Structure 1
Amino acid sequence: MQPSFPALRGAAEPRRYRRFAGPPTSFIVITVAAIQVVGTLISARHQDSARPLDIAAMLLLLAGPAALAFRRRAPLAMFPVAFLATAGYLALGYAWGPIALSLALSIVLTAAAGLRWQAWLGAGIAAGAVVVGAAVSGDPNWPLRASAGVAWAAILVLLGQAFRRRGERFAEYRRRREAAQKAERDEYRLTLARDIHDVVAHSLSMINVQASVALHVGADDPEKLRPALEAIKAASKESLTEVRQLLGVLREDAPLVPAAKPTLAGLPALAKNAELGGLRVTLQDNSDHQLIGPAQQEAAYRIIQEALTNVGRHSGASSAVVRLGQTGSGPTAGALTVTVDDDGGGMRGALPGNGLTGMKERAGAMGGTLTVRELQPGLRVEAALPIHLEGNRP
């Protein structure tokens, strides 16, 4: 019987997603500084009337890009510094060039940082300066230049807000992806714990019961000692094989030998193993195995296995009845019903353990239900597992 978590074999460490926050700040500062300085030097060669570039001009050309270095630590400082550097450069009459690049980027980065109103205020100040400058320049087309400046200021803010929304959508996608990965890893761990319990606990419980029987009858009736030892050998061999398969799933470098999953066809052998421990088991199977998918068969098998294990270990029962059937009407229409009754002492006020929790989880994973109720005497475990016909016989 193979553990029921094949996906765990491919479950590697979760991928680490880093939010893309644009180019590094140092790259932006150096690039903008190079464009402003080199572009202005080239442009100044064709402007004879402009004031020659000196050390003060170079400092002002570098001050704007330097303000962009505060995009992470103090984004509010970007626009004021860039605006003063740009306004001072133009007011001193230096050659025109790409001096406004750092000012434009300061508006974009301010909006991208989430400082919406500050970005609009800065854009308004810049647009106002453009309008005043165009009006006093004496250019007859100054209204057109002023309108273009105002439009570009608004476009810069909208562009920064678009970058901001894109970053927020990416962050939300990353949070959802990480939450989904965490849920998937939790489900893997839960499945692993459940399968280890079902695979190992059943076999060890059988070994314990048979060892007790062997100790009890060994001295008085040696003939009964052999069946008990054979049962111990078979249970320990099966448990060892399944534990190796579990380790093969956990270790990606270990080959995983294919093996058949437990099916309803294995219930007679399961009942026989329980009888070797002194529990009389009656199996009543009225289900059509060909209409029941492999996942439902495995869940039903594991539920019956765990129920019989609990009966043998805790209830003190002498007999158990296992019934399987199919419903065709009512709220569980098209469902496989599994019922395990025993004549033991019931729960006796004990809290549900890992076995009962695992049975409920298996039923829930199939979209079904599992209930436990007291009998007089004994206990009833009843599960309803919806039958999915996809891939089965029509």
Structure 2
Amino acid sequence: MQRPYGFRRKGPPTSFIAIAVALVQVLGTVFAASRQDGARSLDALAFLLLLAGPAVLLLRRRMPVLMVPLTFAAALAYLLAGYPWGPVVVSFAVSLLLSAAAGLRWLAWLGAGSAAVTVLLWSLLGSDESWPLRVSAAAAWAAIFVLLGEGFRRRKERVAEYRRRRAAAEQAERDEYRLTLARDIHDVVAHSLSMINVQASVALHLGTNEPERLRPALEAIKAASKESLAEVRQLLGVLRDDAPLHPGARPGLARIPELVEHARLAGLRVELANPVDPAGVGEQQQEAAYRVVQEALSNVRRHSGAAAAVVRLAVVGNTLQVTVDDDGAGLGGSEPGNGLTGMRERVEALGGSLALLPPDGPRPNKGPNRGLRVEARIPLGTEGTGP
């Protein structure tokens, strides 16, 4: 079952660990004491020492450095007091695991070494002939708990790193989505409002001087505003999560003649040369080409003061080439705005390039109206076809 976003699997709480260890030590020792003869009977001090180790585990969050020495001291005090043998070392073993898991490797290995040395001295002082076996077993078990803690720590680090990468990827995806949406909004609003503004200016002029040409200008304003409202509603639907990012018919090569016709209605002489068959071009490449032509023609009308422009489309090899030439003043010395930045981002996102050049190529300008060429090269990928 998929976990909800933000859910984090955590280990058992420290209080649960302490209670479980206390039950094991107390009940296990009581059971073991009933089968041992000659040992000191369990009294209040014995139970206090049996509970001291588990209680120290509660310091896991606040003072983890005290767990190993205090649990070791509690277990050693219990055994030195002559009480019956039992699972009194469980809290010490758990402290080794928790310390290693918390990154206190030096402390965990120091505790494991201290346990092995203690067992060695205990066996030698007691003249235990099997001391090598006891010492080896104690050292092995202590090392096992430390290594288990190391394993938990490394797993925790891997999980944390995975979560960081996933969060970064999700943030990058959200940023890219917002950037794409911002470009769409700019392309729709800037283009449509620009044309409406130009046509409104024309209509004001014609209303006084040439009334017979007023109706076509008003019809162009109506068509542009209708198209703009439809696209804005679609984008608002995206913001409400009611629609995909590109609902309905996506802008493509088939709609470039509409852009040319709108520019003509705005008073710009525009020629569309070498139209390309949309069937051989992918949807993303088509939309990028459409937005390049849309923004280029919008800039021609708003900034360059051009009278004519030429839009050329061509498939060369595995690349869709889009060029828009005009006879205006170009950028007029101003820096590229959001529209040109958005065009470049769209094209580069598909592995292509976009350049602003003189119409006949990269040569020095010879006058203020040298003109400007917007040239985009968009790789077609596996969806494209050759010429």
Q: Which residue of 2 is the match for residue 4 of structure 1?
A: none
User: Which structure's relative contact order is higher, taking Cα pairs within 8 Å and 6+ residues apart?
Assistant: 1
What is the distance in 2 between the residues matched to 1:270 and 1:303?
11
Q: Which residue of 1 is the match for residue 151 of structure 2?
A: 162
Question: 1:258 Cα shift?
Answer: 4.6
1:342 to 313, 317, 326: 326
- Root mean square deviation of aligned Cα: 2.1
- Judge conservation of contact 1:347–1:374 (CA < 8 Å) in 2: no
What is the distance in 2 between the residues matched to 1:137 and 1:246?
84
Question: 1:15 Cα shift?
Answer: 3.4
What is the distance in 1 between the residues matched to 2:246 and 2:142?
67
Change (3 A) 1:360 1:280: same
- Give the partner amino acid of 1:105: V
Change (3 A) 1:296 1:253: closer
- Judge conservation of contact 2:280–2:383 (CA < 8 Å) in 1: no
Q: Mean alpha-carbon deviation: is it higher for 152-161 or for 293-302?
A: 152-161
Q: Which residue of 2 is the match for residue 379 of structure 1?
A: 372
Say which SS state the counterpart of residue 389 (structure 1) adopts. helix
What is the distance in 2 between the residues matched to 1:393 and 1:54?
93
Change (3 A) 1:257 1:153: closer
1:210-225 matched pairs, under 5 angstroms: 210-225=199-214
1:262 partnered with 2:246: no
Question: 1:44 Cα shift?
Answer: 1.9
What is the distance in 2 between the residues matched to 1:318 and 1:343?
7
1:182 partnered with 2:175: no
Change (3 A) 1:255 1:129: closer
1:388 partnered with 2:381: yes
Q: Mean alpha-carbon deviation: is it higher for 236-245 or for 44-53?
A: 44-53
2:263 to 263, 266, 274: 274
1:1-394 matched pairs, under 5 angstroms: 15-16=5-6, 18=8, 20-253=9-242, 258-328=247-317, 334-375=318-359, 376=365, 377-390=370-383
What is the distance in 1 between the residues matched to 2:79 and 2:237?
73
- Judge conservation of contact 1:90–1:96 (CA < 8 Å) in 2: yes
Question: 1:153 Cα shift?
Answer: 1.5
- Judge conservation of contact 1:286–1:326 (CA < 8 Å) in 2: no
- Give the partner amino acid of 1:371: A
Question: 1:345 Cα shift?
Answer: 0.8
Say which SS state the counterpart of residue 50 (structure 1) adopts. coil
Give the fraction of aligned pairs with identical amino acids, expressed as a percent: 64
Question: 1:102 Cα shift?
Answer: 0.4
What is the distance in 2 between the residues matched to 1:256 and 1:368?
22
Question: 1:233 Cα shift?
Answer: 0.8
What is the distance in 1 between the residues matched to 2:376 and 2:105?
58
What is the distance in 2 between the residues matched to 1:94 and 1:210?
101
What is the distance in 1 between the residues matched to 2:148 and 2:116?
16
- Give the partner amino acid of 2:5: R
- Give the partner amino acid of 1:249: V
Change (3 A) 1:156 1:362: same
Once the two structures are superposed, residues 308-367 of structure 1 have per-residue CA deviations (whole angstroms, 9 ceiling, x without a partner) of 011111111111111111222xxxxx1000000111111121111000000001101111
Say which SS state the counterpart of residue 345 (structure 1) adopts. coil
What is the distance in 2 between the residues matched to 1:253 and 1:297?
24
Change (3 A) 1:114 1:286: same
Say which SS state the counterpart of residue 371 (structure 1) adopts. strand
What is the distance in 1 between the residues matched to 2:5 and 2:334?
43
What is the distance in 2 between the residues matched to 1:363 and 1:167?
41
Say which SS state the counterpart of residue 111 (structure 2) adopts. helix
What is the distance in 1 between the residues matched to 2:20 and 2:286?
65
What is the distance in 2 between the residues matched to 1:341 and 1:68?
77
Say which SS state the counterpart of residue 219 (structure 1) adopts. helix
Question: 1:104 Cα shift?
Answer: 0.4
Say which SS state the counterpart of residue 208 (structure 2) adopts. coil
What is the distance in 1 between the residues matched to 2:386 and 2:260?
27
Once the two structures are superposed, residues 117-171 of structure 1 have per-residue CA deviations (whole angstroms, 9 ceiling, x without a partner) of 2211111001111222233334432321221111112222211111111111111
Question: 1:42 Cα shift?
Answer: 2.1
Question: 1:288 Cα shift?
Answer: 3.7
Change (3 A) 1:364 1:15: farther
- Judge conservation of contact 2:234–2:243 (CA < 8 Å) in 1: no
Question: 1:59 Cα shift?
Answer: 1.2
- Give the partner amino acid of 1:313: R
TM-score, normalised by the number of residues in structure 1 = 0.90
TM-score, normalised by the number of residues in structure 2 = 0.92
What is the distance in 2 between the residues matched to 1:351 and 1:317?
18
What is the distance in 2 between the residues matched to 1:119 and 1:128?
14
* Structure 2: unaligned runs, 5 residues or longer: 360-364
Equivalenced residue count is 375
What is the distance in 2 between the residues matched to 1:104 and 1:386?
63
Once the two structures are superposed, residues 261-289 of structure 1 have per-residue CA deviations (whole angstroms, 9 ceiling, x without a partner) of 11211111110001111111111125343
* Structure 1: unaligned runs, 5 residues or longer: 1-13, 329-333
What is the distance in 2 between the residues matched to 1:83 and 1:21?
27
